[in-house]
Amino acid sequence: MSDIITSIDPCGVVTVTLNRPEIHNAFNDTVIADLTGIFQRLGNDPAVRVIVLRGAGKSFSAGGDLNWMRRMASYSREENVADAMGLATMLRTLNECPKPTLAVIHGHCFAGAVGLVAACDIAIAADAVQFALTEVRLGLIPATIGPYVVAAMGARACRRYFLTAERFGAVEAHQLGLVHEVVGPDDLDAATKRHIANLLAGGPLALAAAKGLIRAVDGPVTDAMVADTAARIADARAGDEGREGLASFFDKRKPGWVK
């Protein structure tokens, strides 16, 4: 049985499912390497329009596999750095994937899995889901996931939850900015389909460019940034996709990328 299941529908929506339900979809170095390759491949595949990340069984993911972490404890510092870079690389690959990414959290989400959620563009959760950043309870820290969780929740909230490791519910995760929407468990699939439909309505190149724009303007406004944004919109207007989008609007028809 594969630890990760991928499937694609006729619209180019790929579902990536963590498939280790017997250990609450905890991930180890092998799963991390496989996810890195999957996100790289999907990000480069023109047939892929949207990536949905889910978990099999009762939990979304419990984070790192404890057997893997126990094994890492016996490694040298150099070996630990190399291993940690695997997780850091996977998270960055997901965060910078040019395709829209949607995390669908149906069950509990702990430790490193919170980083997976934070690295996705959109996250929706069932209302009974519990979240926690539990690393300090093991004498560890949420290091490689830190940039994404702090960006999602803010430093102030992280000063509490990184330190206390206490659980917080889906509603609070929404208030903190970690997830974008909270629904009842029976409404999760409908919410997923609604978000996918919204993403499929956008131009594929525009979606990738919009993600790049967010990273480019996340900082002080400078002359260089202003010039860069002007160049980006000029490129979009002059490109085939931009011309098609404007033409379809004035022609009162769907653009070519909408099936």
pLDDT in tens, 93-116: 999 999 999 999 999 999 999 999
Encoded tokens for 229? 């944004």
φ and ψ at residue 142, rounded to 5 degrees: -80, 65
* Separation between Cα atoms, residue 241 and residue 35, nearest integer Å: 30
Q: Averaged over 129-148, what is the pLDDT?
A: 96
Residue 73 has pLDDT above 90, yes or no: no
The dihedral built from the CA positions of residue 28, 34, 40 and 44, taken in this order, carries a sign that is: negative
> Which two structure tokens, joined as six digits, stand for 134?
């539990």
Tokens 């993403």 belong to 199
Question: How big is the chain, counted in residues?
Answer: 259
Of 3, 66, 67, the C-alpha closest to 31 is 3
DSSP, collapsed to helix, strand or coil, labels residue 105 as strand
User: Would you state the structure tokens that stand for residue 234, as one six-digit string?
Assistant: 């000029």
Longest alpha-carbon distance in the chain: 65
**Considering the entire predicted model, what is its pTM?**
0.95
pLDDT at 117 over 80: yes
Rounded distance between C-alpha atoms, residue 219 and residue 92, angstroms: 19
- Provide the pairing of β-strand 130-132 with 109-110: parallel
* pLDDT, position 66: 85
- Nearest 5°: CA angle at 207, between 187 and 102? 30
How much is the average pLDDT of 221-238? 94
94's tokens: 């997901």
Q: Report d(CA 60, CA 31) in Å as an integer.
A: 15
β strands within the chain, DSSP E? 4-8, 13-18, 50-55, 101-105, 109-110, 122-126, 130-132, 168-169, 181-183
pLDDT value at 1 more than 80: no
> What distance in Å separates the CA atoms of residue 112 and residue 114, rounded to the nearest whole number?
5
3-state DSSP of 15-50? EEEECCHHHCCCECHHHHHHHHHHHHHHHHCCCCCE
pLDDT band (50, 70, 90) for residue 171: very high
Per-residue model confidence (pLDDT) at position 259: 82
Q: Are 232 and 209 in contact (CB under 8 A)?
A: yes
Q: For the chain, what percent of residues have pLDDT higher than 90?
A: 91
